[in-house]
Amino acid sequence: MTMIKDKTVLVTGGAQGIGRLVGEYLLQAGAKKLIIWDIDKRGCHEASRELRNAGHRVQFYVADTSKLADVERTAGSILKNVGEIDILVLAAGIVVGKNFVEHSHADIDRSINTNLLGVMHVTRAFLPHMIERGSGHIVTIASAAGLLPNRRMTAYVASKWGLVGWSESLRLELEKLGRKLHVTTVTPSYISTGMFEGVRAPLLTPILKPEKIARKIVSAINSNKILVRAPFMVHFIPLLRGILPSRLFDFVAGKIFGVYDSMTTFTGRRRPPQHQQRRRPRRFYRPRQKSQQATPPPSQ
């Protein structure tokens, strides 16, 4: 069991979406401090302000995880000014929803650098301290797209396939050390955070509510669960791909379940107007009653 109480949490992509919710729920579960790492400066300010107003200790760093120089500089600053990280949630990610031939070289680089290489570099920066301490929990927000192919998601799928393989391999390495070092790999289908706005839900695979999958992730951290797959149909993907011939699997996934056409109507996230209020999620854990001094953000 990973104790969440009094732990320091770092969430990349933590200003919005799943990263934002997981960070909040971990604070509600008793985490001592949350560090938000995101490229969205305004989102960092908004999320930090709301969480501080709720009595939590929050700092943020505005940096691009797809750029190694930013990762090295920001990680160094966090280790110096905040200290070691107990729970690392890797939620930063992007999607380019178009056919591969329409991708620019910049689209390809940005997808792989953000979704895969950035995750690896951020982890590499904090992992030695976890190993030296003998404890730590890494949460990789991958995707069901890391388990099967799909049209109009080629670069995204490539990055998530790599991410699933890397995360599971890292878990094996850390388990070999025999310490309190844990890795949880999360492979959800589409989530209604706005990132996949406009997609069609495949048959028997409803679009997930972000609050529900965030609860599952926090629960998985607490219980040291290896895999989080949602919704339930995602559990069958490895089995079906393993036993069905490729053409038959394509027929089942594409024609029957409609997976391969799910991105046809994709539009992607559109930022809400500035006057629009951020919808507050339902409370998952009872907030801490102890009032805490708000921590000012570090200079960027």
State yes or no: pLDDT of 258 exceeds 90.
yes
Q: What is the pLDDT confidence band of residue 269, given thresholds at 50, 70 and 90?
A: confident
Report pLDDT for 140: 98
Report pLDDT for 271: 55
Beta bridge partners of 88: 10, 138
**In whole angstroms, what is the distance from residue 290 CA to residue 297 CA?**
21
For residue 184, give the CATH number of its domain.
Answer: 3.40.50.720
Q: What is the pLDDT confidence band of residue 281, given thresholds at 50, 70 and 90?
A: very low
Do the domain assignments include residue 164?
yes
217 neighbors 139 (Cβ within 8 angstroms): yes
**Considering the entire predicted model, what is its pTM?**
0.89
> Position 163: which residue type?
L
| Domain that includes residue 71, residue range | 8-261
Paired tokens of 23: 């960070």
Paired tokens of 152: 């109009």
Alpha-carbon dihedral angle through residues 77, 64, 26, 162, given to the nearest 10 degrees: -120
For the stretch 150-176, pLDDT in tens is: 999 999 999 999 999 999 999 999 999
For the stretch 223-254, pLDDT in tens is: 999 999 999 999 999 999 999 999 999 999 99
For the stretch 175-220, pLDDT in tens is: 999 889 999 999 999 999 999 999 999 999 999 999 999 999 999 9
Do the domain assignments include residue 271?
no
State yes or no: pLDDT of 279 exceeds 50.
no
Q: Which of 156, 190, 260, 285 is catalytic?
A: 156
Burial level of 35, CB count in 10 A (0-12/13-18/19+)?
Answer: buried
Residue 91 neighbours by CB under 8 Å, 6+ apart: 11, 12, 13, 14, 17, 18, 19, 22, 141
Do the domain assignments include residue 275?
no
Q: In the predicted model, what is the mean pLDDT of residues 43-52? A: 97
Paired tokens of 215: 């609860």
Do the domain assignments include residue 19?
yes
Give me the number of domains the chain comprises: 1
18 neighbors 140 (Cβ within 8 angstroms): no
Report pLDDT for 282: 44
Pairing type for strands 58-62 and 33-38 reads parallel
Do the domain assignments include residue 30?
yes
Q: What is the mean pLDDT of the chain?
A: 91
156 is catalytic: yes
Do the domain assignments include residue 62?
yes
For the stretch 86-131, pLDDT in tens is: 999 999 999 999 999 999 999 999 999 999 999 999 999 999 999 9
Do the domain assignments include residue 273?
no
Do the domain assignments include residue 291?
no
State yes or no: pLDDT of 42 exceeds 60.
yes
